[in-house]
Amino acid sequence: MVQPVFDAAVLSGRADIPSQFIWPEGESPTPDAAEELHVPLIDIGGMLSGDPRATAEVTRLVGEACERHGFFQVVNHGIDAELLADAHRCVDAFFTMPLPEKQRALRRPGESCGYASSFTGRFASKLPWKETLSFRSCPSDPALVVDYIVATLGEDHRRLGEVYARYCSEMSRLSLEIMEVLGESLGVGRAHYRRFFEGNDSIMRLNYYPPCQRPMETLGTGPHCDPTSLTILHQDNVGGLQVHTEGRWRSIRPRADAFVVNIGDTFMALSNGRYKSCLHRAVVNSKVPRKSLAFFLCPEMDKVVAPPGTLVDAANPRAYPDFTWRSLLDFTQKHYRADMKTLEVFSSWIVQQQQGQLALQPQPART
């Protein structure tokens, strides 16, 4: 079958959509998702200004949400509204460029960064109706974002790079605040996860979902759990994010003043399975494009992902083996398409690999 080209300007002129974008009936958008999922809206303003009572309340609400489904929203987060507006404007500026311009940052097979128009080169079916631009952001290398944007898109796009460099540095700061709350709520202390993530190697992803003439037959982002540690998402006012809990899909209504935060598979492992990484997806519509900004907090590549000892005991044995983010990222880019079972399948794969390596090691001679 011919590989389709995902160019919204071309596709919007057709009455139907190429078959590779059509999702099977059991996986396509469902009417139940018109229902809203009320995830807690947590005011973190008091906590950020050091109020101990406000901090205790935030800790309780975050802990409760993470044990249930791993999704919550934060308001009074201290992120400058003008920066957020700029970040959304830059999404429009980038994705409305002609395809060949965007392809200057083309994401190559096996890589997690760059521009992807759908995933036409990577998957043959159940293609997502979206374009993305992803890039790395590390607090230890403040020039990384601007250098990447200028190196791929050219000097003319330096300002876009500067906007996202600022945005990512703010997201990293906010995610470390949330890590303190997660540590406190799990009883391991505020410093534990903050220290673990201080030198993070995170991924920023701009999602752009063009309008689709057949929105009930396709998906913008298929059902998946984020393999990463913590996601901080800002959706524009269009709406499309849906979460699967209690056996049904429900929508998280966009709020301009809120970030949607969710636990990813890597944090689920770091909490020994206590905090949930939950299945979610994004739907599209036939009228207007939709944008979302996703910051995925990730550990440094070779740091060992293991829960603190206090979360492991006879009643709560290790839920997942030790691994590195490098190996999980590689797994999702080269061997497995992220879905609701990523961590489970990856865990079995890593145990098999370790056993294989053990078998290859010379055994000590028996005396």
Ligand X SMILES: O=C(O)CCC(=O)C(=O)O
Which chain residues interact with ligand X by CB under 6 A? Answer: 205, 207, 221, 226, 233, 235, 240-241, 280, 282, 292, 294
Closer Cβ to ligand X, 179 or 206, answer by number: 206
Q: What are the backbone angles phi and psi of residue 18, rounded to the nearest 5°?
A: -55, 145
Q: Residue 118 binds which one of Fe ion, ligand L4NPZUNZ, ligand X, none, with CB within 5 to 8 A depending on kind? A: none
Closer Cβ to Fe ion, 226 or 236, answer by number: 226
How far is it, in rounded angstroms, from Cα 262 to Cα 228?
10
The SS3 call for residue 156 is helix
Q: In this chain, which residue has its C-beta nearest to Fe ion?
A: 226
Closer Cβ to ligand X, 183 or 240, answer by number: 240
Closer Cβ to ligand X, 153 or 282, answer by number: 282
**DSSP readout, 52-111?**
HHHHHHHHHHHHHHHHHTSEEEEES----HHHHHHHHHHHHHHHTS-HHHHGGGBPPTT-
What's the min distance (Å) between Cβ of 239 and ligand X? 9
What's the min distance (Å) between Cβ of 281 and ligand L4NPZUNZ? 8
Q: What is the dihedral of CA 280, 285, 291, 296, to 10 degrees?
A: 10
Q: Residue 282 binds which one of ligand X, Fe ion, ligand L4NPZUNZ, none, with CB within 5 to 8 A depending on kind? A: ligand X
Q: Which of 290, 326, 337, 366 is catalytic?
A: 290
List interacting residues with ligand L4NPZUNZ (CB under 6 A).
112, 119, 203, 221-222, 224, 226-228, 296, 329, 332, 337-338
Q: Which helix (H) or strand (E) segment is 184 a member of?
A: helix 158-185
Q: In this structure, which long-range contacts are made by residues 113-122, counting pairs with CB atoms below 8 Å and at least 24 apart in sequence? A: 113/148, 113/203, 114/152, 117/5, 117/6, 117/7, 118/4, 118/6, 118/21, 120/3, 120/4, 120/5, 120/6, 120/20, 121/3
290 annotated active-site = yes
What's the min distance (Å) between Cβ of 360 and Fe ion? 37
Q: Residue 332 binds which one of ligand L4NPZUNZ, ligand X, Fe ion, none, with CB within 5 to 8 A depending on kind? A: ligand L4NPZUNZ
What's the min distance (Å) between Cβ of 142 and ligand X? 24
Q: Where are the beta strands (DSSP E) in the chain?
A: 41-43, 71-75, 114-117, 131-137, 202-209, 221-224, 230-235, 241-245, 248-251, 259-263, 280-282, 290-297, 304-305, 323-324
Closer Cβ to ligand L4NPZUNZ, 73 or 202, answer by number: 202
What's the min distance (Å) between Cβ of 172 and ligand X? 18
**Pick from 226, 242, 290, 298: which binds Fe ion (CB under 5 A)?**
226
Q: Residue 215 binds which one of ligand L4NPZUNZ, ligand X, Fe ion, none, with CB within 5 to 8 A depending on kind? A: none
> Any idea which residues carry the catalytic annotation?
290
Binding site for Fe ion (CB under 5 A): 226
